[in-house]
Amino acid sequence: MAVPKRKVSPSKRGMRRSADAIKAPTYIEDKNSGELRRPHHIDLKTGMYRGKQILTVKD
Protein backbone atom coordinates (compact mmCIF):
# COMPACT_ATOMS: atom_id res chain seq x y z
CA MET A 1 0.00 0.00 0.00
CA ALA A 2 1.31 3.47 -0.87
CA VAL A 3 2.28 5.57 2.13
CA PRO A 4 3.34 9.24 1.92
CA LYS A 5 7.06 9.64 2.65
CA ARG A 6 6.66 13.14 4.13
CA LYS A 7 3.86 15.23 5.57
CA VAL A 8 2.15 17.47 3.02
CA SER A 9 2.45 21.08 4.14
CA PRO A 10 -0.70 23.23 4.42
CA SER A 11 0.59 25.38 1.56
CA LYS A 12 0.96 22.44 -0.83
CA ARG A 13 -2.39 21.03 0.28
CA GLY A 14 -4.03 24.41 -0.40
CA MET A 15 -2.43 24.65 -3.84
CA ARG A 16 -3.83 21.26 -4.75
CA ARG A 17 -7.29 22.14 -3.49
CA SER A 18 -7.38 25.52 -5.23
CA ALA A 19 -8.72 23.83 -8.37
CA ASP A 20 -11.88 22.94 -6.44
CA ALA A 21 -12.86 26.62 -6.39
CA ILE A 22 -12.80 26.98 -10.19
CA LYS A 23 -16.24 27.96 -11.41
CA ALA A 24 -17.91 27.47 -14.79
CA PRO A 25 -16.63 29.66 -17.66
CA THR A 26 -18.49 32.90 -18.31
CA TYR A 27 -20.26 33.69 -21.55
CA ILE A 28 -21.50 37.02 -22.85
CA GLU A 29 -24.02 37.88 -25.51
CA ASP A 30 -22.41 39.31 -28.65
CA LYS A 31 -23.60 42.84 -29.41
CA ASN A 32 -23.91 42.31 -33.16
CA SER A 33 -25.05 38.72 -33.66
CA GLY A 34 -26.65 37.99 -30.29
CA GLU A 35 -24.74 34.70 -30.03
CA LEU A 36 -23.11 33.60 -26.78
CA ARG A 37 -19.32 33.72 -26.78
CA ARG A 38 -16.42 33.85 -24.35
CA PRO A 39 -15.17 37.32 -23.36
CA HIS A 40 -12.08 38.47 -25.31
CA HIS A 41 -12.55 35.73 -27.92
CA ILE A 42 -13.42 35.79 -31.62
CA ASP A 43 -17.07 35.20 -32.48
CA LEU A 44 -16.79 32.02 -34.56
CA LYS A 45 -20.18 32.50 -36.24
CA THR A 46 -19.28 35.86 -37.79
CA GLY A 47 -15.47 35.92 -37.52
CA MET A 48 -15.54 39.36 -35.88
CA TYR A 49 -13.44 40.57 -32.96
CA ARG A 50 -13.75 44.07 -31.51
CA GLY A 51 -15.53 45.32 -34.63
CA LYS A 52 -12.98 43.95 -37.10
CA GLN A 53 -13.31 41.00 -39.48
CA ILE A 54 -10.62 38.51 -38.42
CA LEU A 55 -11.74 35.22 -39.94
CA THR A 56 -13.55 34.48 -43.18
CA VAL A 57 -16.87 32.72 -42.62
CA LYS A 58 -17.30 29.32 -44.26
CA ASP A 59 -20.70 28.38 -45.69
The three state secondary structure string of the chain is CCCCCCCCCHHHHHHHHHHHHCCCCCCEECCCCCCEECCCCCECCCCEECCEECCCCCC
What are the boundaries of each domain within the chain?
Answer: 27-59
Number of residues assigned to the chain: 59
Residues 51, 38 contacting (CB under 8 angstroms): no
List phi, psi (to 5°) of 21. -90, 0
Residue type, 45: K
Instruction: Note down pLDDT in tens along the chain; length 59 residues.
Output: 888 899 999 999 999 999 899 888 899 998 888 889 999 999 888 888 988 999 998 87
Please tell me the predicted confidence (pLDDT) of residue 34.
Answer: 87
Confidence at residue 8, expressed as pLDDT on a 0 to 100 scale: 94
